[in-house]
Amino acid sequence: DLHLCDRRQRQMCIRDSVSGCLFMSSINNKRIAKNTLFLYFRMLLIMLVTLYTSRIVLKALGIGDFGIYNVVAGFVSMLSFLNTSIANGFQRFFNFELGKEQIGKVKRMFSVSLSIQIGLSLLILLLAETVGLWFLNASMNIPSDRIIAANWVYQSAVFMLIITLFRAPYDAIVIANEKMEFYAYIGICEVLFKFLIVYFLVKISYDLLICYAILMLLVTGGIFICYIFFAHKRFAYLRFSPVVDRGVMKQMLGFSGWNILGSLAHLMKEQGANILLNIFFGPTVNAARGIAFQIQSGVTVFVGNFQLAARPQMIKSYAASDIFGLISLFYRISRFSFLLLWLMALPLLFKIDFILSLWLGEDIPPLSALFSILSLLIALTESFASPLTTVVHATGRMRKFQMICSSIILFIVPLSYVVLKIGFQPESVMYVSLFVLVMVHVVRLYLLKELISYSVREYVTCVLFPCVKVAIFTLLIAYVVNYQLGGAILSIFQILLTLLLTAIILVFVGLNVEERGSIFQLVRNYYEKFK
């Protein structure tokens, strides 16, 4: 049985992992590292430009219009849960067949995936132009003089979503083939497009909210064109033919069907809460949450890139029946994900007011600092979820897992409505999300035992315990470093010192002997190379 291990081998595996030496045998570590570096290069470009352009966009649009764009575009993104679920399914099947070197099946699955997206786009367009359009104009809290602009934003967001639907199979095939350098080039294109948006915004005298929505639509279209050219040039076997292979389609949709529930739950967690905040408090609070979400996205992209680089290897390990390698990579990616995110988030937790003032100047929406801190805590909690979910995707046995976990996450919206209706403040929505996400991860750990042979105690020892140790030590150090408030120069020094000390503790407390040795060897190699 693929999901069971020989007793003696399993005991050896547990013993090695508890001692911190569960190695990634048969995993291409160099490829993961290379892909991660490409993705980090892309991330740095996008993050720097986003920090600059967000300030200009907020100042140009104003807090009210900025909040309207975030809530309306976010509402449209709720319709994308179908696409997100099916796209993850595409990637899983591409990875699985590439792991078995079945190029012919990959070619056929690509054509089937595009056919599925054509039908899905028609369904989403129907929902968007009926139910969605009615809800926008009848139920959302938008000033009457901005309804027309809000509808322009809505229609632009709908067409952006349709473009994203057709991009999903291309995105999945690029990731499955681990061509992460392409994302670095796409990052450069995205940087250029966003700079152009800022340039046009400060030059245009027409309604800036409408212009911003249209320009963002054009950027989405430009990125999609880049995907098409790269994919068809790099992968000669990609040729779309309008086939209806019921067997392959049923297999893909059957896998994605349960994944839809998970995507819906996470989308409702984000955008459902955003709509509740709009109904109870108006666009100003949405603007604060939009700022917090951008900070969260900018930080979590570090972890997302790392997890994205490792995801194909995890699925291919399962396809090759390398369960020990899969479990080893699962533990290591889970631990590294939290530690990388903690390294970036800790200085922000102590210096969020300074960061916001440095970034946005005086145009800071109320509650932005508190929302940002809570968003970072939620992101830290969720950093453990993605590697675990990837293991579930690799097995393909998702029914029970998604039904239970998604049902728990869906409770976030009604619970948030109750606490807001009682009279709690806007941040109570974030506290509800944080509590539920902690609970659901505990449930995930025990559900995973039914899919692969692993120990929850082993997971706690290899993953959670090192992360908790690093968090406690670095919190104490960061508290000492940031205890005294000072001017801008002192604040920058405190941030850099917090980063440095956190990185040192992360290496010596969060990593095991083998991992530290690999890092030191890498440093020595670079030193010898450039000496």
pLDDT digits (tens, 9 = 90+) for 254-266: 666 666 677 777 7
pLDDT at 376: 92
More confident residue, 408 or 169: 408
Nearest to 189 by CA among 240, 228, 232, 237: 228
DSSP reduced 3-state for 440: helix
Averaged pLDDT, 333-348: 89
pLDDT at 31: 55
Range of 56-65, 188-197, 363-372 with top mean pLDDT:
363-372
Range of 241-250, 312-321, 388-397, 429-438 with top mean pLDDT:
429-438
- Residue 28 near residue 320, CB atoms below 8 Å: no
Counting Cβ atoms within 10 Å, is residue 307 exposed (0-12), middle (13-18) or buried (19+)? buried
**Alpha-carbon distance 465 to 17, whole Å?**
13
pLDDT at 373: 92
**Alpha-carbon distance 357 to 491, whole Å?**
12
Task: Return all residues near 398 (Cβ < 8 A) that are at least 6 apart.
Answer: 255, 258, 259, 262, 392
Q: What is the mean pLDDT of the chain?
A: 76
Give 177-232 pLDDT, tens digit per residue: 766 667 667 767 777 787 788 777 777 777 888 888 888 888 888 888 888 888 77
**Alpha-carbon distance 258 to 241, whole Å?**
27
Among the residues of 449-507, which ranges form H helices?
Answer: 456-459, 465-481, 488-505
Q: How confident is the model at residue 530 (pLDDT cuts 50, 70, 90)?
A: low
pLDDT at 200: 78
Residue 501 pLDDT > 90:
no
Residue 20 pLDDT > 70:
no
Residue 381 pLDDT > 80:
yes
Averaged pLDDT, 69-88: 66
pLDDT at 435: 93
Tokens 């969260």 label which residue?
296
Nearest to 38 by CA among 169, 176, 185, 175: 185
- Rounded to whole angstroms, what are the CA distances from 98 to 92, 105, 453, 464? 10, 9, 24, 32
Give 406-435 pLDDT, tens digit per residue: 889 888 889 999 999 888 888 899 899 999
- pTM confidence score: 0.68
pLDDT at 74: 67
Residue 90 pLDDT > 80:
no
**Alpha-carbon distance 154 to 213, whole Å?**
8
Residue 385 pLDDT > 50:
yes
481-506: buried (b, 16+ CB within 10 Å) or exposed (e) per residue? bbeeeeeeeebeebbeebeebbeebb
Find the range with the poorest average confidence among 92-106, 152-166, 261-275. Answer: 92-106
Q: What share of the chain is helix, strand, coil (3-state, %, to 5)?
A: 85, 0, 15
Residue 113 pLDDT > 50:
yes
Residue 79 pLDDT > 80:
no
pLDDT at 440: 92
pLDDT at 472: 92
Planar angle of CA 312, 316, 317, nearest 5 degrees: 115
Task: Return all residues near 495 (Cβ < 8 A) that are at least 6 apart.
Answer: 347, 351
Q: How confident is the model at residue 503 (pLDDT cuts 50, 70, 90)?
A: confident
Percent of the chain past pLDDT 90, that is, above it, reads: 10
pLDDT at 279: 84
